[in-house]
Amino acid sequence: MSIFPELAIIYDEPTRSAALNMAIDEALLECVDLPTLRVYRWDHPALSFGYFGKLSDVAHEAGRDRVRRWTGGGIVLHGDDLTYALIIPASDSAFTESAMSIYEKTHAAMQRALGPQTELAAEASAKISDSCFANPVRADVMLNGKKIAGAAQRKTRRGLLQQGSIQHVDLAPDFEKSFARELSANVIERKIDNRILERAQEIAAVKYATEAWLQRR
């Protein structure tokens, strides 16, 4: 049931700003040589919204760091959630699969790690707001009829980036390890080295932390 022959996992324990979190994901997409799962948190309450979203839609959210994601999707509140990025380089065979197939397989792995009380949404529900977690789509993870995990993707010539959030559920202390093992039977731990962090800081400075990026739509 594993998706990848080998998977690297990064437990990014330092909490970081919204702009830097987004930039690290992009920096990893530029350079990883095997599928990589980064799990991370935020240094204070934040809000991310999809690439095609409008800044005016989140103008009412005071007191949160706001950042436009490179991936699509709706509005996601961060702070108490567990956020992850799954990066699949173009050299990996999974990259040739459809975006929906990857979405379904990663959420099925997550659902198994969360336990039998959860399930995958069979189809999309009617959109009721711009909030990501108010609008389940096919293969989102559900608990007692409510969405607890969703994600958004970006595919480039370098690879695929899937950014996701898990919230409104108590996670087991070893959930991240269980999730990784469901994705691959061969999991290795890696750290974010200085080269990647320096590149991410460059990306954040010219992109995610700028008003031009925030207000581009």
> Around 55, how many Cα atoms within 13 Å sit in the side-chain half-sphere?
12
pLDDT in tens, 42-78: 988 999 999 999 998 887 777 899 999 999 999 999 9
Residue 142 carries which DSSP code?
E
pLDDT in tens, 146-176: 999 999 999 999 999 999 999 999 999 999 9
Strand order in the sheet with 159-166: 118-120, 141-143, 146-155, 159-166, 82-89, 36-42, 7-16, 187-190
What's the confidence (pLDDT) of residue 126? 60
Which are the catalytic amino acids? 132
Please enumerate, as own/partner, the contacts of 132-140 that have beta carbons within 8 Å and a separation of 24 or more.
132/73, 132/74, 132/75, 132/76, 132/165, 133/76, 133/165, 133/167, 133/168, 135/74, 138/100, 138/104, 139/100, 139/103, 139/104, 139/107, 139/108, 140/107
Alpha carbons 166 and 185: distance in angstroms, whole number:
22
- Determine phi and psi for 184, rounding to 5 degrees: -155, 145
Spatial CB neighbours of 122, under 8 Å, sequence gap ≥ 6: 138
What's the confidence (pLDDT) of residue 216? 83
What's the confidence (pLDDT) of residue 125? 66
Reduced to 3 states (helix: H, G, I; strand: E, B; else coil), residue 12 is strand
202 pLDDT band, cuts 50/70/90, is very high
- Determine phi and psi for 107, rounding to 5 degrees: -75, -30
What domains can you pick out in the chain, each with its CATH number? 7-214 (3.30.930.10)
pTM: predicted TM-score of the whole model, two decimal places: 0.95
What's the confidence (pLDDT) of residue 13? 86
pLDDT in tens, 91-114: 999 999 999 999 999 999 999 999
Q: What is the dihedral of CA 180, 186, 189, 190, to 10 degrees?
A: -100
Whole-number average pLDDT of the chain: 93
Sign of CA dihedral 71, 177, 8, 2: negative
Residues of the chain with pLDDT > 90, as a percent, come to 82
- 188, amino acid identity: I
Alpha carbons 95 and 97: distance in angstroms, whole number:
5
